[in-house]
Amino acid sequence: MQRKKECVAMLLAGGQGSRLFALTTNVAKPAVAFGAKYRIIDFPLSNCINSGIDTVGVLTQYQPLILNEYIGNGQPWDLDRTYGGVHILSPYQAKTNSSWYEGTANAIYQNLHFMKMYNPEYVLVLSGDHIYKMDYAAMLKAHKDTGADCTIAAINVPLSEASRFGILNVNPDGEIYQFEEKPKAPKSTLASMGIYVFSAKKLFKYLEADDANPNSSKDFGKDVLPAMLNAGEKMYSYRFEGYWKDVGTIASLWEANMDLLGDDPKFDVSDKSWKIHSRNPLAPPEHIGENGVVKNSMIALGCEIDGVVENSILGSNVIVEKGATVKDSVVLANSVIKANANVSYSIIDENVTIGKAAKIGVEKDASAEIVVLGRGLTVDDGVTVSEGQKHEQDIKA
Amino acid sequence: MATSAIGVIFSNMHEENVPELVRRRTMASIPYGGRYRIIDFALSNMVNSGITTVGLMTSNNYRSLIDHIGSGKDWDLARKDGGLILLPPFSERHDKLYSTRLEALSSLRGFLYRRNEKYVVLTDCDGVMRLDIADVIATHERKNADITMVTHHGKVGHRADFILLTADETDRVREIKLSPHLAEGQTADIYINMMIINRQFLLNLVEDSVTHGFSSFEGDILIKQIDSLKIYRYDFQGYYAGIDSVAAYYKHNMELLKKTVRDELFGARDIYTKVRDSAPSKYSESAIVKNSLISDGCEIEGVVENSILFRGVKVGKGAIVRNSIIMQDNIIGQNATLDCVITDKNVVISDRKALGGCATLPYYIPKGTRL
């Protein structure tokens, strides 16, 4: 009997995430750090393994080095399988052509041979831009129960935001009768989450047709899904009620981090029944010093805190010296906040050094804007960085 | 960096010194420093020195050790050639079951024969340190020694079973004494239970002792043959924590609250341990934490001072934890008060309970206790 996998997941991880500014200068968006010890891609990868899907193709294109290094052989997610496991799929050169991934559909199309290797019944298409916990197995079951050719995960969004999404107009039983990509006047608030289950044969057929269509922009939302609907394929929505956050902007990334805080957090990463796996830093427990004050915060291993940390998320090995204050901020791994420096309402990337008595950002209020300091930069002693500034280079006195 | 050495770790030696802590585990698997087990230091020292084959000798209570070690992958020791090799009791002919080191070595012969590395690093799990074993091996080679014994100059402490070495100016060991009487507080060159020995030479020694019916590795081999064997010492001058009593266990854990000690032990961030994928620790609005080490997965709503919290500890509102070592997955109820306490794994302290010991006699609460 030929070996096969019932379901293969294809994770679109090639996006640049240009709205994250300096945070994605050197790393692809799915590799952006989140929640003190995680990277965004930990969530879809953990969802896969927790849902029993152990074959995942990760499609990379933009700045793949850190992402590839992070995924490695997939062992942290238990995805180092003998048959299946995680595979990095980068654009490649073939005998007759070679091309970059041109759109979401084209990226999957170029890896038809990868999916076919596992002879799957179903293909799960995911994106590496969201923070959420979801049981894909339940979605797959719904797909089988309705006998759909394509099932799209959907969530209710506020009407004011609906025009940013692909909106699904559905019958009471969930069957989709209309699909509107980023409509100006949305008819419903049911938004596509960019998570699709396809019956594999149908997917392959429509991808091949899409590739042959010179007028297609090779995008799932704009081309493939409407084509399937127009051809009368059975398409269903799958309602998702839990926490789901697109972290494509600085503000939403900051908010999603803050959603982890509080006694009853909006998003809980400590749920042992749905563990979020990640590549763990090698570091001793964090040390809170004699002068340390840590309130309503999440702190990763290896931190040394002798200053004040409030309403903040600190990645591994961050140092906050005596007299320094970090408030309403996200500080990523290995950064150093020197004595008497003050960081408010900011996102500080990895390996940043903030000099003594420097002042970064302003007190958070409704009109304040978030400061972003890019990877590895140094802020000189005593420098002031005003609200909303985004830097990639060292900031001199 | 390839090293022509294999490691052998004795996981059960010296357990009589800390009976409470090893009631349901091995010396090697005693939790240490917030997220480690004692064996992590020996294993990391070996791996960081390029050793990729480590035999793990176990004689009893080793379930927790196997659970910790798994395939060895967290130490990069899941390998096709070598890697981490568990050596549970194995007996043939007249071998006894590891009641002495010589018996243990005797049953290790098959493992030693099958390898072809030049040296064997033998170590117990009663010490915590960061030691460059590659440098010990280099010194061993330079001296053309048969055996190099690692020593640390310090106080003997509480232990009954220690070995003192006297060496000449070339570091050649001239005298070995087993547990001599020492005045309170006197310092000496104490053997810290790690040696480098040529593999073939070790095999010959063990074969020889079996045929002569010797029973003690130290007494019958090292001491009696001190003039014919080229035994050298390697003086380790770094931070060394000998775990020879529950009080010493407590004291040395507490030393990790000093930055100098942490920097020396963890400075290079290369002590490996089992990965548990816990969430980062969470501090609530009411948390007050001073001079403490907190591991991942903790949730703190109360007061924690001068303490070490292992993974997954919950400290309730109004609870006060001072000068204490709280092991994995403890739950400290609201308004409970702990001072100078060691709580083993999975202990639950209910609301408003108050418990205390003192620094020289910390109050130990066994694994799984519900108070």
Domain match, B228 and B342 both: no
Q: Do B296 and A76 lie within an 8 Å CB cutoff? A: no
Q: Is B83 buried (19+), middle (13-18) or exposed (0-12) by CB count in 10 A? A: middle
pLDDT for residue A3 is more than 50: yes
The one-letter code for the residue type at A391 is H
Provide, as residue numbers in chain B, all residues whose Cβ is less than 8 Å from the Cβ of A37. 279-280, 296
Q: Are residues B116 and B142 in the same domain?
A: yes
pLDDT band, residue A1 (cuts 50/70/90):
low
Output the pLDDT for position B89.
80
B289 and B186 assigned to the same domain:
no
ipTM field: 0.93
- CA distance linking residue A181 with residue B70, whole number of Å: 49
Element (H, E) at B250: helix B246-255
Q: Verify that B72 and B183 share a domain, yes or no.
A: yes
Q: Are residues B293 and B162 in the same domain?
A: no
Radius of gyration of chain A, Cα coordinates, nearest whole angstrom: 22
Give the chain A residue nearest B269 (alpha carbons). A283
Sites in chain B below the pLDDT cut of 50:
1, 95
The H-or-E segment that residue B251 falls in is helix B246-255
Q: Check if B317 contacts A (Cβ < 8 Å).
A: no
Distance separating alpha carbons of residues A166 and B190, to the nearest angstrom = 72
Do A27 and A63 form a contact (C-beta atoms < 8 A)? Answer: yes
Q: Which of A39, A270, A312 has the highest number of chain B CBs within 10 A, making it the mutation to test binding with B?
A: A270
Please indicate, yes or no, whether residues B128 and B44 belong to a single structural domain of this protein. yes
pLDDT digits (tens, 9 = 90+) for A144-194: 999 999 999 999 999 998 998 999 999 999 999 999 988 999 999 999 999
Query: Phi and psi of B189, rounded to 5°?
Result: -85, 100
Shortest Cα distance from B262 to chain A (angstroms)?
9
Whole-structure pTM over 0.90, yes or no? Answer: yes
In this complex, is the C-beta atom of B44 within 8 Å of any C-beta atom belonging to chain A?
Answer: no
Kindly identify which residue of chain B lies nearest to residue A260, measuring between CA atoms. B282
- For residue B76, the chain A residue with the least C-alpha distance is A75
Confidence at residue B50, expressed as pLDDT on a 0 to 100 scale: 95
Q: pLDDT confidence of A332, banded at 50, 70, 90?
A: very high
- What's residue B156's pLDDT? 79
pLDDT in tens, A349-376: 999 999 999 999 999 999 999 999 999 9
Of B241, B266, B291, which marks where a domain is finished?
Answer: B266
Q: Does the structure show a pLDDT above 70 at A311? A: yes
The answer to whether position B144 is within a domain reads yes
CB-based contact B269 A317, cutoff 8 Å: yes
Specify the CATH number for the domain of residue B262: 3.90.550.10
For residue B271, being part of any structural domain is answered with no
Q: Do you know the residue count of chain A?
A: 397
Nearest CB neighbour to A298, from listed B282, B295, B304: B282
- B312 → chain A, closest CA residue: A270
Cα–Cα distance measured from residue B194 to residue B122, given in angstroms and rounded to the nearest whole number: 6
Check residue B1 and give its pLDDT. Answer: 45
Residues in A whose CB is inside 8 Å of some CB of B read: 35-37, 75-76, 261, 263, 269-270, 275-278, 280-290, 292-302, 304, 317
Rounded to whole angstroms, the Cα distance separating A222 from A179 reads 9
pLDDT at residue A327, rounded to an integer = 98
Looking at the structure, tell me whether residues B252 and B312 fall in a common domain: no
- Name the residue range of residue B358's domain: 282-365
Residue A165 and residue A194 in contact, taking contact as beta carbons nearer than 8 Å: no
Pick from B208, B234, B266: which residue ends a domain?
A: B266
- Is 80 exceeded by the pLDDT of residue A139? yes
Crossing angle of helices B133-142 and B38-48, rounded to 10°: 60
Residues 6+ apart with CB under 8 A from B223: B176, B178
CA distance A290 to chain B (A): 5
The answer to whether residues B66 and B190 belong to one domain is: yes
| Residue A336 in this model has a pLDDT that exceeds 90 | yes
Taking CB atoms and an 8 Å limit, are B270 and A75 in contact across chains? no
- What is the model's pLDDT at position B215? 82
Q: What does the pLDDT look like over B167-216, one tens digit per residue?
A: 999 999 999 999 888 887 889 999 999 999 999 999 999 998 888 888 88
Sign of CA pseudo-dihedral B26, B27, B32, B35: negative
The reply to whether B241 and B122 lie within a common domain is yes
pLDDT above 80 for A282? yes
pLDDT, position B267: 87
Between the alpha carbon of residue A211 and those of residues A60, A102, B43, the distances in Å are 20, 11, 54
Q: Nearest to residue A200, comparing CAs of A2, A5, A49?
A: A5
pLDDT digits (tens, 9 = 90+) for A24-36: 999 999 999 999 9
- In this model, does residue A124 exceed pLDDT 80? yes
Q: What is the pLDDT of residue B91?
A: 61
- Best A78, A290, A299 residue to mutate vs chain B (most B CBs within 10 Å): A299
B289: nearest CB among A261, A263, A294: A294
